[in-house]
Amino acid sequence: MAFSYSRGTAITFLVLIFTSISCIINIPTAEARIRRYKWEAKYEYKSPDCYKKLVITINGRTPGPTILAQQNDTVIVEVKNSLMTENLAIHWHGIRQIGSPWFDGTEGVTQCPIVPGDTFIYQFVVDRPGTYLYHAHYGMQREAGLYGSIRVSLPDGQSEPFAYDYDRSIILNDWYHKSVYEQATGLASVPFSWVNEPQSLLIQGKGLFNCSTPGIQAGLCNSTTPECFPYVMTVVPAKTYRLRISSLTALSALSFQIQGHNMTVVEADGHYVKPFVVKNLFIYSGETYSVLIKTDQNPSTNYWMTTDVVSRKPGTSQGLAILNYYPNHPRRPPPTPPPSGPLWNLTEPRLAQSLAIKAHPDHIHPPPLTAHRTIIMLNTQNRVNDHVRWSINNVSFNLPHTPYLISLKHNLSGVHTRIPPPTGYNLKNYDIYSVQDNKNATISDHSVYKLEFNTTVDVILQNANSMSNNTSETHPWHLHGHDFWVLGYGKGKFEMENDTRTYNLVDPIMKNTVPVHPYGWTALRFKSDNPGVWLFHCHIESHFFMGMGVVFEEGIDRIGKLPSSIMGCGETKDIIHKP
Amino acid sequence: MAFSYSRGTAITFLVLIFTSISCIINIPTAEARIRRYKWEAKYEYKSPDCYKKLVITINGRTPGPTILAQQNDTVIVEVKNSLMTENLAIHWHGIRQIGSPWFDGTEGVTQCPIVPGDTFIYQFVVDRPGTYLYHAHYGMQREAGLYGSIRVSLPDGQSEPFAYDYDRSIILNDWYHKSVYEQATGLASVPFSWVNEPQSLLIQGKGLFNCSTPGIQAGLCNSTTPECFPYVMTVVPAKTYRLRISSLTALSALSFQIQGHNMTVVEADGHYVKPFVVKNLFIYSGETYSVLIKTDQNPSTNYWMTTDVVSRKPGTSQGLAILNYYPNHPRRPPPTPPPSGPLWNLTEPRLAQSLAIKAHPDHIHPPPLTAHRTIIMLNTQNRVNDHVRWSINNVSFNLPHTPYLISLKHNLSGVHTRIPPPTGYNLKNYDIYSVQDNKNATISDHSVYKLEFNTTVDVILQNANSMSNNTSETHPWHLHGHDFWVLGYGKGKFEMENDTRTYNLVDPIMKNTVPVHPYGWTALRFKSDNPGVWLFHCHIESHFFMGMGVVFEEGIDRIGKLPSSIMGCGETKDIIHKP
């Protein structure tokens, strides 16, 4: 539940905020409000795809409640951990946390985990309109169902560069029947045990597992439980709908489509897009889009909304939901079968969509024309100490037990190495098209990329062959604390001289999550202007768990006193912190 | 692995210990050693009863490594939590923690839980010889497999009041296939979902689930996996064995027997028993016994060792292990079927065994003849706020998120009420033989029984009918930080005037865990001479989870500075604690 306060109350609150938070950069205007949420995270039995299993709910729901706010509002979420013996941490995906780097919700990077029984208060300003997400950022906990939407609208009186009648949010997901513990234990084991393809695809938390699947435990799957009836989005004919579509899949890249309806892409990760029309939208874990659809089809029937796995050979049935034209019965199945998805292994159309996304002409944030430094990040799958891991420049990430933000700010010794991680790779001699040995691969000793404050940084994400022949996966990389300009995508090995010339420096879109296509590269640019310690990682839950990430540090000396609420683990127990 | 140090090294260590721990009461003698263990707790797939599931291992094993020490040794256990997102705490069951109340390992009472990635160092003196246990003491985590034996022998040159050739330890357990999370979620739900009877009984970590059970998930049960071949104890003929038998069942009261062999009970919970002979040993969760057996039977065959559920209607197959007479093949099944257990619902023989346990004539600790106060604790099953709970005097226990020891020592406000819990119940008007309403039942607001230091306290545990007709269960109550004298057991309602006269004040056994029999009472006495905060609770994992426990506080002003390692949760984050 959100409580909106009157202006007078809001001002009182703002005074309190200024007293307790030292360096808010975006000052909320007088109209800004406090949006206060009280959440309880709990394990409960649910059957989102007809198969009963334990999930993590917020206030009894998964996906959790949608956070609704206006630009410059302050969102306060009190999270009570009622998970019994398991900790949690919640990340506010796409919110840059300007002035509140300690509330990014990234366990091991910005905070200690929230222990059971404790109530943690997240407080941050949503400084830009757009479509954002929240989800667990601790181990592989996101997959247990702890996630939801954040929708930030423009202040009253301001308008978007496109028109619509109604606004709706849909989160796409994939779903496993094994617990997060079972999956993670397999991934961390020698011999390695892969999580395999998900059991179903969810649309707004609902999927449809085939209960006749042989070998499943008796009594757990019930195809008639109302819980797993497909998600129904009811629309009235002859209107324009803004559909906010986001993906929080554990593994799958998806293609989303609505039978008989084109979609006009207008927003990506909180930035306005130069509109373009698609029949199906490719979407990767961690991305958000707004599309406009017109309910201009035959209003006497319903229509399928579908998701299909792409980029990996699908082992999961199509995800289904119903676009219900009012006043048809919401549960009436559409008269024709759902459309089949695109060919899973065709990279071209996906690359084409990536290239089509440009900033809206009236909302271009011009990028700096040059960068102060360039970091090339070669993405490889390796064997490190007999474990199967993902690595960046041959270093496989693992989280320290004392969060980076605290140990760096407090100069705790013995937690991190001061030797920087490798900033590039000898690409000339690296064959990205075949399985490589990567013999010198190591597990990170918690080194960080220290970025000089307020400089421009280029990152080239270079894809390669994995440990399987003729396989290169799609990795959606997500950057915390920033948006970046997407300067370009390319096939094959990145060539500094030639490829930098192809960069779009005119109207690049800004995003926080971007795919690296198979055997390809993606170039992005950002400014190190947000004091904090920020994770940059593949948003595929198992890939990050297996080491696919890095950490950036910037302007740590500009950060105020860290709140004691983020302490409690590792070396932070001995930090003196008065209330 | 245990490392034993030479005397010189030991002295150096002792100096270090005295520097860092302020108030050790039992000063280790010059002969005392440091026993140092390095443990890593992890989730792993195991098939202890042929059914594959995630368990918590210590250094890859469940049961974990046995701690071997001599009286007055200092045991140091470094526990690394590698459970990914789950905390842990380990209790040293039967060790009184004199001078180290902060290392009792009871989450919510003596410490914050150990978060993943952290290494916690437990350090305590084992001041008495005997048979003890360790196990998780956090949520229902013990059931996940985190448990093991502690065996404390006499110093060199001293001898027990009985003779034997060999010394062996066996832990008895029951085993569930559902995860601890699934079980706990059911117990905490409205409507209530009971854990039901366990899937199998384990002897020293091995059981035998019937893989042909209909409805189980395919691919998880494999009756030919060597992991679940019954535990084999190899013996040589014509010798006397000391068998240390302990129970850590989640739910079940057990009867243990060895085909064709009598057992002479000689030790209980670390105290020497006036020897008596049994054909089968009744044992309750949290109890330890030493029995002597003579390998005087026909040496050409093997013999069954069995466990059977008693006190609840069994829904679980008999537990089986093999007593292997050397040089028979250890895997050769005994020629005759295993003996069947006693009638499950016959209380008389179990009460008779309880009454038979008295202190060894040469090792009597005379009890104080009177008590300073008496607390009557009526055990009931109730409905509280729509939940099914267990209560003591109508108050159902729940753990605070700031551990008692820390909040009481530091006088943290707002954590506990200062109103004491009820010290008795109007037994006169209470019908213990039928289902009662107990309308005023409440959840504990974290009140504690404050005991005046160094006084004598009597506790009368009074059993009653549960919420099911004609049902009264057996509850094994375990006291932390103390041994108590077992003054008596009785049937029906405790009558102060008459029943106190029947107390055994001559040679009562001292124990730390004692059963309360169906519709009966148990009287015990202890001295409040160990500064600390101590849990007293039913050792049935689900019963304690459902509220069956209380907390005693004594001599808190005599406790030295609490180590910062136990902090980190709840209100303890704001305590100033320099390294």
Q: Is B60 on the interface with A (CB under 8 A)?
A: no
CA distance B565 to B100: 13
CB contact under 8 Å between B85 and A565, yes or no, is no
Q: Which of B45, B115, B186 sits opposite A185 (nearest CB)?
A: B45
- B233 contacts B324 by C-beta, under 8 angstroms: yes
pLDDT value at residue B249: 98
As given in the structure block, the two tokens for residue B554 are 């004594």
Measure B393 CA to nearest chain A CA, in Å. 25
Tens of pLDDT, residue by residue over B64-112, are 999 999 999 999 999 999 999 999 999 999 999 999 999 999 999 999 9
- A488 contacts A458 by C-beta, under 8 angstroms: no
- My answer on whether omega of the bond before A327 falls inside 30° of 0, hence cis, is yes
Q: Is B203 on the interface with A (CB under 8 A)?
A: no
CA count, 13 A, side-chain hemisphere, B449: 24
Tens of pLDDT, residue by residue over B388-415, are 999 999 999 999 989 999 999 999 877 7
CB contact under 8 Å between B54 and A181, yes or no, is yes
- A400 contacts A407 by C-beta, under 8 angstroms: yes
- My answer on whether omega of the bond before B400 falls inside 30° of 0, hence cis, is no
SS in 3 state form for A192-209? Answer: CCCCCCCCEEEECCECCC
Chain A residues close to B60, C-beta within 8 Å: none
CB contact under 8 Å between B189 and A141, yes or no, is no
Measure B179 CA to nearest chain A CA, in Å. 10
CB contact under 8 Å between A219 and B215, yes or no, is yes
CB contact under 8 Å between A44 and B189, yes or no, is yes
Q: Which of B112, B140, B399 sits opposite A115 (nearest CB)?
A: B112
pLDDT value at residue A5: 37
In a mutational test of the B interface, the residue from A45, A138, A544, A573 whose CB has the highest number of chain B CBs within 10 Å is A573
pLDDT value at residue A428: 82
Chain B residues close to A181, C-beta within 8 Å: 43, 54, 84-86, 179
Q: Is A141 on the interface with B (CB under 8 A)?
A: yes
CA count, 13 A, side-chain hemisphere, B115: 30
CB contact under 8 Å between A574 and B578, yes or no, is yes
CA distance B231 to B170: 9
- A121 contacts A565 by C-beta, under 8 angstroms: yes
Tens of pLDDT, residue by residue over B504-522, are 999 999 999 999 999 999 9
- Phi then psi for A30, rounded to 5 degrees? -60, -25
CA distance B241 to A138: 50
- B67 contacts B150 by C-beta, under 8 angstroms: yes
| Residue B308: strand pairing partners | B255
Q: Is B190 on the interface with A (CB under 8 A)?
A: no
In a mutational test of the A interface, the residue from B544, B573, B574, B575 whose CB has the highest number of chain A CBs within 10 Å is B573
CA distance A211 to B284: 42
Q: What is the DSSP letter of B107?
A: B
Please provide the distance, in angstroms rounded to a whole number, between the alpha carbons at the two ends of chain A. 28
The closest of A382, A192, A85, A389 to B142, measured between CA atoms, is: A85
CB contact under 8 Å between B85 and A87, yes or no, is yes
CB contact under 8 Å between A84 and B112, yes or no, is no
Helix or strand run (H / E) with residue A407: helix A404-409
Q: Which of B115, B188, B578 sits opposite A113 (nearest CB)?
A: B115
- B209 contacts B50 by C-beta, under 8 angstroms: yes
Chain A residues close to B115, C-beta within 8 Å: 87, 112-113, 115, 401, 568-570
Q: Which of residues 514-533 of B touch A (CB under 8 A)?
A: none
Close Cβ partners of A504 (under 8 Å, ≥ 6 residues apart): A358, A486, A487, A488
Q: Is B43 on the interface with A (CB under 8 A)?
A: yes
- My answer on whether omega of the bond before B63 falls inside 30° of 0, hence cis, is yes
As given in the structure block, the two tokens for residue A70 are 């206006």
CA distance A253 to A258: 17
- My answer on whether omega of the bond before A339 falls inside 30° of 0, hence cis, is no
Q: Is B400 on the interface with A (CB under 8 A)?
A: yes
As given in the structure block, the two tokens for residue A266 are 């207008």
Tens of pLDDT, residue by residue over B190-227, are 999 999 999 999 999 999 999 999 999 999 999 999 99
- For B69, counting Cβ atoms within 10 Å of its Cβ (0-12 exposed, 13-18 middle, 19+ buried), the class is buried
Q: Is B192 on the interface with A (CB under 8 A)?
A: no
| Per-position DSSP letters for B384-414, written without gaps between them | ETTEEEEEETTEE----SS-HHHHHHTT-TT
* Res. B579: pLDDT tops 50: no
Chain B residues close to A399, C-beta within 8 Å: 117
CB contact under 8 Å between A138 and B219, yes or no, is no
Helix or strand run (H / E) with residue A16: helix A7-20
CB contact under 8 Å between A85 and B84, yes or no, is no
CA distance A96 to A124: 9
Tens of pLDDT, residue by residue over B447-487, are 899 999 999 999 999 999 999 999 999 999 999 999 999 99
Q: What is the DSSP letter of B533?
A: E
Measure A210 CA to nearest chain B CA, in Å. 15
In a mutational test of the A interface, the residue from B45, B56, B84, B564 whose CB has the highest number of chain A CBs within 10 Å is B84
* pTM for the full predicted model: 0.93
Q: Which of residues 312-341 of B touch A (CB under 8 A)?
A: none
Q: Which residues of chain A have pLDDT under 50?
A: 1-28, 577-579
Q: Is B183 on the interface with A (CB under 8 A)?
A: no
Chain B residues close to A54, C-beta within 8 Å: 179, 181-182, 185
pLDDT value at residue A576: 52
Task: Cite the beta strand spans of B430-531 per DSSP E.
Answer: 442-443, 449-451, 456-462, 475-479, 484-491, 510-511, 513-516, 520-527
Question: 3-state class of B52 per DSSP?
Answer: coil
Tens of pLDDT, residue by residue over B140-195, are 999 999 999 999 999 999 999 999 999 999 999 999 999 999 999 999 999 999 99
Chain A residues close to B568, C-beta within 8 Å: 112, 115, 567-569, 572-573
Measure A138 CA to nearest chain B CA, in Å. 7
- For A117, counting Cβ atoms within 10 Å of its Cβ (0-12 exposed, 13-18 middle, 19+ buried), the class is buried
Count helices and strands (H / E) in chain B.
Answer: 6, 33
pLDDT value at residue B417: 74
Q: Is A443 on the interface with B (CB under 8 A)?
A: no
Measured in whole angstroms, the distance separating CA A291 from the mean position of its chain's CA atoms is 18
Q: Determine what percent of chain A falls in helix, strand and coil, rounding each to the nearest 5.
A: 15, 40, 50
